[in-house]
Amino acid sequence: MRQLVFLRIALGIALLLAVSVLIFAGTQILPGDVAQAILGKSATPETVASLREQLGLNAPAYVRYFRWLGGALTGNFGTAMSSGQDIATQIKARLWNTLFLAACAAIAAVPLAVILGLIAVRYRNGWVDKLISGLALASTSFPEFFIGYALVYFFCVKWPILPSISTVYDGMPFGERLEAIVLPATALTLVVLAHMMRMTRAAILNVMQSAYIETAELKGLSAFNVIRKHAFPNAIAPIINVVMLNLAYLIVGVVVVEVIFVYPGMGQYLVDNVSKRDVPVVQAVGLVFAAVYITLNIVADVTAIIANPRVRHPK
């Protein structure tokens, strides 16, 4: 088991390094000149050349990559070209807002998905199972922007009971902060709820085919107790894996939702600076998103390995 955990962590680190190369290369092959874009079309060639020298754009690509990677590993992402502010300081505040939004959505989505999955298994092939599965399939079919705009229409336009713009700031009272993120958190919950519920149902149904489940049923245990005491504990590993993958999506997949509700998180920060062609910010946000996603995937895999009794006790 230790070898599997160590191998998964090593593969995650190697994957993050590969992603960093792709992020850096992707921003470098964009058409146009960064210095020219910052100064505008009216800038003289001498001014553009001076800015390129100041930004270190004249150095070879591999030198700039290792310089950027070394700074990122020490928490120094440089300075934003458009605002002159320290990128790490900006990311720290924005990342906290995104994590808060994702955590609120997860607190609502994870227990609800597991409970609905258990109910669907308990009444499998009945009208309750078909109703839950149908609603989950419909929820999966709607993209994030549709769900977000539908929530805005119903709860901000038709019945104006919630704010359409999720404005949060430092020192904001906790209750007001929760009220501000109700709609974006609901949109994220609806996006990930269906997938977690369907995978929970599939994992438990797969375990229900085992011989020890039939033995438990022959002992006279009720269907609910068979699921709760025997099926669910043995299906926990794939369920944990699915939950962690959806938590990773909650954090890195919030870009559309944050833009719809103008929420000051990492997604909104990325979109704002993509439009300004602020390459250092785009690189930094992309690397942070990749690091969070890969880390949560590693946690999911390691947790699934530890939760699997056949791996813990191979004999």
- C-alpha–C-alpha distance, residues 221 and 211, integer Å: 15
Give residue 18's pLDDT. Answer: 92
The secondary structure of residue 221, as a DSSP letter, is: -
pLDDT per residue over 75-121, tens digit each?
A: 888 888 777 788 888 888 888 888 888 888 888 888 888 888 888 88
Q: Quick check: is 78 in a domain?
A: no
Q: Quick check: is 86 in a domain?
A: no
Do 45 and 131 lie in a common domain?
Answer: no
Percent helix, percent strand, percent coil in the chain, to nearest 5: 75, 0, 25
Q: Quick check: is 84 in a domain?
A: no
Would you say 271 and 255 are in contact if contact means Cβ atoms under 8 Å apart? yes
Do 69 and 107 lie in a common domain?
Answer: no
Domain of 245: which CATH number? 1.10.3720.10
- C-alpha–C-alpha distance, residues 89 and 101, integer Å: 19
Report whether pLDDT(308) > 70: no
Q: Quick check: is 83 in a domain?
A: no
Would you say 263 and 99 are in contact if contact means Cβ atoms under 8 Å apart? no
Residue-averaged pLDDT of the chain: 81
Do 203 and 293 lie in a common domain?
Answer: yes
Do 33 and 132 lie in a common domain?
Answer: no
Do 113 and 57 lie in a common domain?
Answer: no
Nearest to residue 200, comparing CAs of 238, 246, 227? 238
Give residue 80's pLDDT. Answer: 80
> Could you tell me the pLDDT band of residue 244, with boundaries at 50, 70 and 90?
confident
Q: Quick check: is 147 in a domain?
A: yes
Q: Quick check: is 243 in a domain?
A: yes
Do 110 and 23 lie in a common domain?
Answer: no
Do 217 and 304 lie in a common domain?
Answer: yes
- C-alpha–C-alpha distance, residues 136 and 146, integer Å: 16
Burial class (CB in 10 A: 0-12, 13-18, 19+), 2: exposed
Do 64 and 185 lie in a common domain?
Answer: no
pLDDT per residue over 261-302, tens digit each?
A: 888 888 888 888 877 777 888 888 889 888 888 888 888 777
Residue-range definition of the domain harbouring residue 204: 92-312
Give residue 40's pLDDT. Answer: 64
Give residue 178's pLDDT. Answer: 87
Give residue 306's pLDDT. Answer: 72
What pTM value is reported for the model? 0.80
Do 51 and 200 lie in a common domain?
Answer: no
Tell me which residue has tokens 């062609």.
277
Q: How many structural domains compose the chain?
A: 2
Do 34 and 153 lie in a common domain?
Answer: no
> Rounded to the nearest 5 degrees, what angle is found at the Cα of 106, between the Cα atoms of 100 and 110?
165
pLDDT per residue over 153-211, tens digit each?
A: 898 888 888 888 888 888 888 888 888 889 998 888 888 888 888 888 888 778 777 77
pLDDT per residue over 112-158, tens digit each?
A: 888 888 888 878 888 888 888 888 877 777 888 888 888 888 988 88
Report whether pLDDT(47) > 80: no
Report whether pLDDT(223) > 80: no
Do 62 and 176 lie in a common domain?
Answer: no
Nearest to residue 232, comparing CAs of 114, 110, 113? 114
pLDDT per residue over 30-43, tens digit each?
A: 666 666 666 666 77
Do 176 and 277 lie in a common domain?
Answer: yes
Tell me which residue has tokens 């049923």.
217
